[in-house]
Structure 1
């Protein structure tokens, strides 16, 4: 456990501030969110296996739930059922038409079933954290969900160790932008030979670069810097013109994807929000430091994306066009219309 806080002290702090979001309370206490949850083991919290082959494979039985994946500056919430789970040692997937996930099992370290009694009844969730105690993925039951299936799954996944403390490590540092101007020509040449967007990360790694470093130096034919408010403009434009999109939000352990329209765009303080019936997005627009329009060649035509990064160089989210019918012209026109940025960080 971080610092000198006991489980009793953590529970007292939670009782003192019952309405404060768990992530914010943990930060104020100088502990991880996993440690905050673990402190309540035996008090509405059950420690369970974090193995996706057991946990995620069992979620379909819960029926309609809300899937939540977030990073430091963006929260992605999608209603649906966990369908078509495909396990894998290095990467697993959920390929339902509503809940669409890419899972990286090595970062699924701590998991808990949480039952929180409140004025509106018992709220049930399954919460997964990485080695640093940061949230990787959460599943929130809704009134339509199968509570009996939840109880059975928790019983199956329950760990023998129900202690109120977990051991967490240091959070991995964000890799700053990394490029090599001497190899810009090699980058452009290799970029133009791509046939699938999934080839990109291996390509830049081979050249000693990373995503943001490559975007900064490849040139505007491949990656064009946009204004910091371009994501807000994009969401508003997609809503107004009914342009369907794919929105990717992730962390080291999970990427969650929404495919379809965005309709109700609601600004609230520093946040820009999508508040639709089956999909919610919450983005700290003030934390967006850089945005790029990016095009990559594929076998089926160019894949155009809009990608946002924070001041440390961490990817916040990516937005692509949803080419369900094969026509991406409306998306490409919308992306091309976004305001440009005049100055790019060195």
Structure 2
């Protein structure tokens, strides 16, 4: 029997210290359904288009931007600015808030006001068709509360019912290679001049990212031990290297460019706990790690990329290549020194 909005609210009230995602999983519903259950009370359903949500975010002043997948959460404090709208992909390109937004997955959005032990917590939250979180924007003490209320009222959706229709979650695409096209993959890989060309190449050859990595072999990729991600983070911290960390889901990719300062492992989690940047990574979810090198006009782009057991990309780490902040040589040496897998251990 389906839970009523009243039942959902009651379950949430009975577990005030649990995260919304965990409560929803316990109840067997999506997080969007959990949030929507309070529509008409402390939650307002909004127009979910990125133009609307990010337009509002740009009025709020300093906030915390959060993006997650099932295995990793990235949080950045900063100001939303330099928004670039697109038909299919939009961007926020600022010093601290750096996002790639995929419009078709911005299906549900809410303004949320929640009482906590620290006072009123206000946020804008976006979910995909399955009700999974795409992106969240949390106000801070220095944020503009009046602008939040104005955005809430301006973007208010006509439907304020406490229900939320969701679709079945799309499964992660398993690794997909194409042995017949392997020679073409290698030849075209060498011709790349920009990392963004990679996905077009694999799509043309009817492969995906992980399938291409498993197929292409040296000198393009090298399989690493799963613990290499933690080792890499520790070495980046110790060397004071600036890196770019990409964490995303189907609807949003969020990027941190800078240091990994304070590492704080707790159980299966490896956490970066810096003043304006937090990362929370479930290292026990990592099933495959690849060191990848792609040619670009500015030299090789070297990355460390982690996948879960289903083939989902958890995170990618590159060197910072911005003008005046180029650490590619030191990063390349660091990655070359990470422990690899013996050939027979690489998944078929």
TM-score bucket of the superposed structures, by smaller chain: over 0.9
- The offset of 1:242, in angstroms, is 0.2
> Equivalent residue of 1:47, what SS?
strand
Aligned residues: 344
Q: What is the distance in 1 between the residues matched to 2:281 and 2:251?
A: 19
- The offset of 1:183, in angstroms, is 2.2
Q: What is the distance in 2 between the residues matched to 1:191 and 1:221?
A: 11
| Matching residue of 2:271 | 273
Q: Is the 8 A contact 2:56 2:148 kept in 1?
A: no
| Matching residue of 2:117 | 119
- The offset of 1:260, in angstroms, is 0.7
- The offset of 1:327, in angstroms, is 4.4
Q: What is the distance in 2 between the residues matched to 1:327 and 1:17?
A: 46
| Matching residue of 1:174 | 172
Q: What is the distance in 2 between the residues matched to 1:21 and 1:119?
A: 14
| Matching residue of 2:11 | 13
- CA deviation digits over 1:274-320, x for unaligned, max 9? 10001000000000000000000111111000000000001000000
- The offset of 1:119, in angstroms, is 2.6
Q: What is the distance in 1 between the residues matched to 2:130 and 2:178?
A: 31
Is residue 214 of structure 1 aligned with residue 216 of structure 2? no
- CA deviation digits over 1:217-271, x for unaligned, max 9? 1012001000101111111010000010000000000000000111101110000
> Equivalent residue of 1:133, what SS?
coil
Per mean C-alpha deviation after superposition, the further-off stretch among 314-323 and 177-186 is: 177-186
| Matching residue of 2:200 | 202
Q: What is the distance in 2 between the residues matched to 1:308 and 1:149?
A: 39
What are the equivalent positions in structure 2 for 1:1-346 lying under 5 Å apart?
Answer: 4-324=2-322, 325=324, 326-342=326-342, 343-346=345-348
- The offset of 1:144, in angstroms, is 1.0
Q: Is the 8 A contact 2:242 2:327 kept in 1?
A: no
Q: What is the distance in 1 between the residues matched to 2:186 and 2:198?
A: 12
Q: What is the distance in 2 between the residues matched to 1:315 and 1:195?
A: 23
- Backbone CA RMSD of aligned residues: 0.9
- CA deviation digits over 1:163-190, x for unaligned, max 9? 0001000001111011122322111001
TM-score for both structures, normalised by structure 1: 0.98
Q: What is the distance in 1 between the residues matched to 2:336 and 2:264?
A: 23
- CA deviation digits over 1:67-110, x for unaligned, max 9? 00000100000000001001011000000100000000110000
> Equivalent residue of 2:58, what SS?
helix
TM-score for both structures, normalised by structure 2: 0.97
Q: Which runs of 5+ in 2 are unaligned?
A: none
- The offset of 1:65, in angstroms, is 0.4
- CA deviation digits over 1:134-184, x for unaligned, max 9? 000000011111111111111111112110001000001111011122322
Q: What is the distance in 2 between the residues matched to 1:52 and 1:123?
A: 22
Q: Which runs of 5+ in 1 are unaligned?
A: none
- The offset of 1:42, in angstroms, is 1.7
Per mean C-alpha deviation after superposition, the further-off stretch among 62-71 and 173-182 is: 173-182
